[in-house]
Structure 1
């Protein structure tokens, strides 16, 4: 299964990373134009991690001078907590290099350094102050807190709406998991990432040898660093991953899935040119650095909430958005396209207000769900024939023709990549 709703989950687990490359949901220059004179309001209705938020903000042209409002929702509180901590860091931490390095490891590394935990404690007093304002209120309704961060050329505002219970829970994301050692955390993680040996092998044979080595190391230690860099200082379990006392993602969870492959390959990985995770490390640091810079050069108002997407309209009764990104809640396994549109289109600007206003829906499973077993058997011969154009079969090579040999496994994976999905998507 490749479903990822119900609070930004993926295969029933947390959607901390992406399985789709980050996109700019606004594309202002190609739509409204980079000299557009109106403020822009964006809604990420089932956000998952922040990659689409960051990609969109980083892509806004410098010539656009109007305020930007970004509403971010996810039903999964783990994800909202991580997103809030990352936004606070990007907005408030004054040292660019420290902020970027710390954000990268909080986002992608299963273990942190003691100094990273010290950085987390920086936000403890902020959360405690927010709690003091709501301790006397027992209502289950969302309670709000606003942090304003003025800069010389702009201002970031972070507005958060959470229940009292969730505000209290936030504190646990800022300290090491009680009683969990480095070895405990590693055991919990590899019990998932290394469990399905056959599956891992099938994935590995589709990769270059050097990339296999890098991926295996990341499966084992879960720390996003260039291959040759020391991991010795990473001794503290990342509290934003281990809140439940288990590893929260499935074994296919991979930071590489959240970023454009061509952009990652183009990154400078140093002398180890085949170190794909080293390139990812460089690419993500560049993206986060640009984000840190952008927050200090324009006026951005963030709003974070933690509700079911079905109810999101009641939390923004006065807001109308230029773009609404809904992840894949429109897949039939979740809300479906009709229900998704019914619940979010009332929040979209009218064509008269903004002819470019758009709801973006990701259909991860539409083609797969449309092709029946009977249809699959029907189209298989044509797909195999198409694959053989790119991967010729040597009938004299017994290894190449073996049913479960490497060559046939590769061809079976390749078949879906040469499929024309348009017909099934249109159905």
Structure 2
């Protein structure tokens, strides 16, 4: 969405976006969200329902009816069409000897708006179409959904972890976190939720025969969004409603995306684990998923991945890799020794005398102020040093040999560290409590750093 929102409204050329993932749940959710935004012109209703489909455990009745009704019927008709076209059932022996239909089954949904064409092309293996239909017809009782979610977010063995996560948050923001964990609905404070009652089955896993909650007990919707950015949004009189600010921030992003879908000549191609079909494609921007960047495995059928897929005629074509570092027993990221960068900030924030020692003392008390000092986030500089150790310039070596991609000296598209709270105070400008809060209370587990890569100029051709 951020990429499409950055395209000028008067861009004259066609825009094609390919979404491919080996996780079928990711593919199905992307298709549902994009199709819903394309089919519904009521921008306010579409954006709010998209936020709930994206983050909330429950969705409104109207969205649930659309998924189980028109969208399900459309996919079911397409599934029957492919079955009739090839003349046999999906799981019969004939299907396994027919390679020509493995990736040939696709459907296209197009809308013509004032001479502008917007389309969504869904390409799945022949056997995936009945699976998508069953995915859309899944149902879960509200009581069962609440029980399945509580089994994760209210797990007794994880109580200490959740309390520590909550303890790191500013006092005035804690009711927002508690409300979201209890209700599972992303809404500003004061907004009624009586009509948001249908379980969001896209956030539940049914592989075991019963619905289980997919997310962990501390993964809030603010994860991966810049706290300093969405905090600028005005939520009304509840200025400490951090999730209300995030809601309106997301609403603005989705509203702009909804408009871009109707003003650009754009095509979305959604595919399930079919990178081998992209051999002849060239892209101006590639965003790799986290699991792909850490696997170091070239997808089957591809050579010189991912360098061969960059457009050699565009000097600004870029690969973006989100790299992740999680706390490990051998690399403790939350210890007193790693907090020397905050020695000056913390005493000023809590109005307590500074320590003479460059490191924090080890406390043997239950004093809440001292306990909170121990729970502060790891300094940004320390995590960046770990990134530099793990992700050096030969990141795409090994099985990625001859990819011909090189790391940029500076990022030009995304911030390397998305949680960094804006401008650092200079020698002549004093830090503000808001800036201090962004540094201290940001949730950084796991830590994610975005690195940009491009082709070496000797491999590029003039446009």
- TM bucket (normalised to shorter chain) is 0.7 to 0.9
> Does the residue aligned with 1:361 lie in a helix, a strand or coil?
strand
Structure 1 residues 227-263: Cα deviation after superposition (integer angstroms, max 9, x where no partner): 2222222222112122411001112322111422223
> Does the residue aligned with 1:98 lie in a helix, a strand or coil?
helix
| Alignment match, 2:244 | 278
1:297 and 2:297 aligned: no
* Structure-2-length-normalised TM-score: 0.70
RMSD across aligned positions (CA):
3.1
Query: Contact between 1:330 and 1:337, CA under 8 Å: does it hold in 2?
Result: no
1:215-230 to structure 2, matched below 5 A, reads 215-230=177-192
CA distance in 1, matches of 2:249, 2:199: 24
Structure 1 residues 102-126: Cα deviation after superposition (integer angstroms, max 9, x where no partner): 2221112111232221222221232
**Alignment partner for residue 102 of structure 2, among 136, 141, 144?**
141
1:327 and 2:289 aligned: yes
Structure 1 residues 40-96: Cα deviation after superposition (integer angstroms, max 9, x where no partner): xxxxxxxxxxxxxx1110111224221111000111111111110111111122322
Query: Deviation of residue 418 (structure 1)?
Result: 4.5
| Alignment match, 2:128 | 166
Alpha-carbon distance change, 383 to 258 in structure 1, aligned in 2, over 3 angstroms? closer
| Alignment match, 1:51 | none
| Alignment match, 2:167 | 205
Query: Contact between 1:193 and 1:251, CA under 8 Å: does it hold in 2?
Result: yes
| Alignment match, 2:401 | none
Structure 1 residues 346-389: Cα deviation after superposition (integer angstroms, max 9, x where no partner): 22222xx1111222212212x968x955xx69x97763433322
| Alignment match, 1:32 | none
| Alignment match, 2:306 | 344
Query: Deviation of residue 218 (structure 1)?
Result: 0.7
CA distance in 2, matches of 1:96, 1:132: 32
Alpha-carbon distance change, 278 to 380 in structure 1, aligned in 2, over 3 angstroms? closer
| Alignment match, 2:382 | 419
CA distance in 1, matches of 2:288, 2:315: 19
Alpha-carbon distance change, 395 to 147 in structure 1, aligned in 2, over 3 angstroms? closer
1:207-286 to structure 2, matched below 5 A, reads 207-244=169-206, 245-286=211-252
Q: How many residues align?
A: 358
Larger Rg: 2
> Does the residue aligned with 2:323 lie in a helix, a strand or coil?
coil
CA distance in 1, matches of 2:215, 2:109: 31
Query: Contact between 2:173 and 2:240, CA under 8 Å: does it hold in 1?
Result: yes
| Alignment match, 1:391 | 346
Higher RCO (C-alpha under 8 Å, 6+ residues apart): 1
Alpha-carbon distance change, 174 to 391 in structure 1, aligned in 2, over 3 angstroms? same
| Alignment match, 1:58 | 5
Query: Contact between 2:164 and 2:375, CA under 8 Å: does it hold in 1?
Result: no
Query: Deviation of residue 223 (structure 1)?
Result: 0.8
> Does the residue aligned with 2:82 lie in a helix, a strand or coil?
coil
| Alignment match, 2:322 | 362
Alpha-carbon distance change, 338 to 167 in structure 1, aligned in 2, over 3 angstroms? closer
| Alignment match, 2:63 | 116
Query: Contact between 2:230 and 2:245, CA under 8 Å: does it hold in 1?
Result: yes
* Structure-1-length-normalised TM-score: 0.75
Query: Contact between 2:15 and 2:267, CA under 8 Å: does it hold in 1?
Result: yes
CA distance in 1, matches of 2:251, 2:378: 35
| Alignment match, 2:154 | 194
Alpha-carbon distance change, 267 to 412 in structure 1, aligned in 2, over 3 angstroms? closer
CA distance in 1, matches of 2:234, 2:285: 33
Alpha-carbon distance change, 191 to 301 in structure 1, aligned in 2, over 3 angstroms? same
Deviates more, 1:59-68 or 1:133-142: 133-142
Query: Contact between 2:336 and 2:362, CA under 8 Å: does it hold in 1?
Result: no
Deviates more, 1:78-87 or 1:354-363: 354-363
**Alignment partner for residue 77 of structure 1, among 15, 19, 24?**
24
> Does the residue aligned with 1:70 lie in a helix, a strand or coil?
strand
1:101 and 2:48 aligned: yes
CA distance in 2, matches of 1:87, 1:101: 14
Query: Deviation of residue 304 (structure 1)?
Result: 0.5
CA distance in 2, matches of 1:221, 1:175: 24
CA distance in 2, matches of 1:331, 1:132: 37
> Does the residue aligned with 2:263 lie in a helix, a strand or coil?
coil
